[in-house]
Amino acid sequence: MTRPIYAVGDIHGQKTMLEDALERIEKDGGTDAKIVFLGDLVDRGPDSAGVIELLRSGIEAGRNWTVLRGNHDRLYSYFLEDLPRPDPQILLGMDWFCDRIGGRGTLESYGIEVADNARYYQIHPVAREVIPRTHVDFMANLPAYHLHDDLLFVHAGIRPGVPLEQQTEDDMCWIRHDFLNFEEPHPWLVVHGHTPEKQAVHKGNRVNLDSGAGYGRPITAAVFEGRDVAVLGENGRVALRPDT
């Protein structure tokens, strides 16, 4: 019998929602459930620091968890390097601190206030001093994907037709249209987030679990047994079938 594997969509600093999702998973699969978190731990929500610590400490305590890197997580790590660098995939005119991205809220979750007239050379050393090294290292070393049988877990998606070993982190963290508009089968059922929907969506060749926590909607937790998918609601499993 295939053992179930669980996945949690984009979190975006919503620690209370994450705790609720973990309770639903534990109720369904117990404390040793294998869980893949699809990335975007930080930004927009109120407690990015708390989200990172919950996941980091859970793994340190031996939980069977895999946390993937999302584009917001990469922005976090790039800013906290010795010399901050922009992500080459971000739109011109935007950076981690703009309201649309939400990095300011992430720093505020560590108690770091960012004034409207602040400059990088002022904020960067404060962030490097205040943010725990354990958080910096954890976020810098997140993998881009997790392969489990014929399920491929990734934050944003993959470049269609490209072998897994030739996929780039740029695509796995950032891709949208070339992946979302592709309707043919992939070698795996791709489980992803990154592009918010009002609820989880099954497109036959991919399953999107980003239900918009970055905009205040509940985080989605789902369970996979082979290619059978169910969303975990308050009252248990609700089958998620491909759109017809």
CB-based contact 78:84 (threshold 8 Å) = yes
CB 62 within 8 Å of CB 24: no
Instruction: Give the fold, CATH level 3, of 5-239.
Output: Purple Acid Phosphatase; chain A, domain 2 (3.60.21)
> In this structure, are residues 158 and 167 in contact, taking their beta carbons and an 8 Å threshold?
yes
Buried b (16+ CB within 10 A) or exposed e, 106-132: bbbbbebebeeeeeeeebbebbeeebe
Q: Which amino acid is at 13?
A: G
- Tell whether the torsion through CA atoms of 51, 59, 158 and 190 is positive or negative: negative
In single-letter form, the type of residue at position 147 comes to L
Rounded Cα gap, residues 231 and 8, in angstroms:
10
Angle at 163 between CA 160 and CA 168, to 5 degrees: 75
pLDDT tens sequence for the chain (244 residues): 578 999 999 999 999 999 999 999 999 999 999 999 999 999 999 999 999 999 999 999 999 999 999 999 999 999 999 999 999 999 999 999 999 999 999 999 999 999 999 999 999 999 999 999 999 999 999 999 999 999 999 999 999 999 999 999 999 999 999 999 999 999 999 999 999 999 999 999 999 999 999 999 999 999 999 999 999 999 999 999 998 5
> What does the radius of gyration of the chain's CA atoms come to, in whole angstroms?
17
Distance (Å, whole) CA 209 – CA 18: 13
How far is the C-alpha of 131 from the C-alpha of 52, rounded, in Å? 11
DSSP letters along 194-227, please?
Answer: SS--SS-EE-SSEEE----GGGTPPPPEEEEETT
Query: Any idea where the domains of the chain sit in the sequence?
Result: 5-239
Q: Structure pTM?
A: 0.97
